[in-house]
């Protein structure tokens, strides 16, 4: 039976572009819209894990054998690595700081680009989730290839800066080079993050992005908002921490756009 689960990844090789924050908050927003969500923290920085669990639990899990690193290294079914979050309808596979060495572990494995995809096979067959969201590290190596191969759609958060756009161009060059291993992956869109409307450069970014052809840019862009840092400080998605905040509303709008494009 074909799976009805949509697998989305958040990828950008530039660090600090807002991948984990966007993944965490789109995940929460999807749940608030009634969808069942599985989050997968694919980054050794553990930020997505920290958005849903307290630090002690995140670090304890990172050292245990119940994290993504162990599952990938031993090529296990990921069903056995899922933890429920405090929110009904949102589960997570947590990361480990050992993900930093995953490239070495992948090196000797046969068809190493498909290990994550294989690990998700049973979860997809069960159709337990409407969406699986995968956060990725700021690299473009073999592990990110795994994430891209396991995903149906890709969202790229990008910071409104010249170097942000330069990084975006590098990412597209990379995608072009690996297209033969990810023929079914669809770029769902580029999402502008950390937009500061007080800076005149935002206008330049928006103007530059208008010239993109065949690449969708989400209409909603996420503006700088201290509520995001406060939500991180408190280990919660911003929609739960402060529902009335500007960023909470923006993430909900972005999520509605995502759903619309996925179900188109």
The answer to whether residue 214 forms part of the interface with other proteins (CB under 8 A) is yes
Interacting stretch for other proteins, rule CB under 8 A, among 65-73, 134-142, 192-200, 205-213?
205-213
CB of 112 to other proteins, least distance (A): 10
Binding other proteins (rule: CB under 8 A), the pick from 168, 191, 228, 259 is 168
φ, ψ of residue 204 to 5 degrees: the values are -60, -40
**What are the b/e assignments for 115-133, b being 16+ CB within 10 Å?**
bbbbbbeebbeeebbbbbb
Q: Which of residues 41-100 bind other proteins (CB under 8 A)?
A: none
* Residue 198 or 214 with smaller CB distance to other proteins: 214
Q: Site for other proteins (CB under 8 A): which residue of 55, 77, 84, 104? A: 104
Is there a contact between 69 and 99 (Cβ–Cβ < 8 Å)? Answer: yes
Quick one: which of 173, 196, 229, 233 contacts other proteins (CB under 8 A)?
173
Q: Does position 252 bind other proteins by CB under 8 A?
A: no
CB atoms near residue 34 (< 10 Å) = 8
User: Given candidates 108, 200, 263, 264, which one binds other proteins under the rule CB under 8 A?
Assistant: 108
> Where do contacts with other proteins occur on this chain (CB under 8 A)?
104, 107-108, 110-111, 114, 117-118, 121, 149, 162-163, 165-166, 168-169, 172-173, 175-176, 179-181, 183, 204-205, 208-209, 211-215
């Amino acid at each position: 039976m074909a799976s009805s689960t949509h697998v989305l990844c958040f990828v950008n090789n530039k660090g600090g572009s807002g991948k984990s924050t966007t993944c965490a908050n789109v995940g929460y927003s999807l749940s608030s819209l009634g969808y069942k969500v599985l989050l997968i923290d694919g980054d050794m920085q553990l930020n997505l894990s920290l958005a849903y669990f307290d630090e002690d639990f995140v670090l304890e899990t990172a050292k245990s054998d119940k994290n993504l690193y162990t599952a990938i290294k031993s090529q296990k079914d990921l069903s056995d690595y899922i933890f429920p979050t405090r929110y009904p309808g949102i589960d997570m596979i947590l990361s480990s700081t050992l993900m930093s060495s995953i490239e070495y572990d992948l090196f000797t494995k046969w068809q190493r680009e498909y290990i994550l995809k294989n690990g998700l096979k049973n979860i997809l067959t069960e159709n337990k989730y409407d969406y699986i969201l995968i956060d990725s590290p700021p690299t473009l190596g073999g592990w990110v290839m795994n994430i891209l191969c396991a995903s149906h759609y890709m969202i790229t958060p990008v910071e409104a800066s010249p170097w942000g756009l330069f990084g975006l161009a590098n990412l597209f060059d990379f995608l072009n080079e690996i297209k033969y291993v990810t023929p079914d992956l669809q770029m769902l869109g580029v999402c502008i993050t950390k937009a500061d409307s007080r800076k005149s450069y935002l206008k330049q970014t928006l103007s530059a992005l208008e010239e993109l052809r065949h690449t969708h840019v989400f209409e909603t862009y996420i503006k700088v908002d201290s509520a995001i840092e406060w939500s991180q400080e408190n280990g919660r998605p911003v929609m739960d921490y402060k529902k009335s905040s500007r960023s909470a509303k923006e993430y909900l709008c972005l999520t509605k756009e995502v759903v619309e494009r996925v179900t188109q």
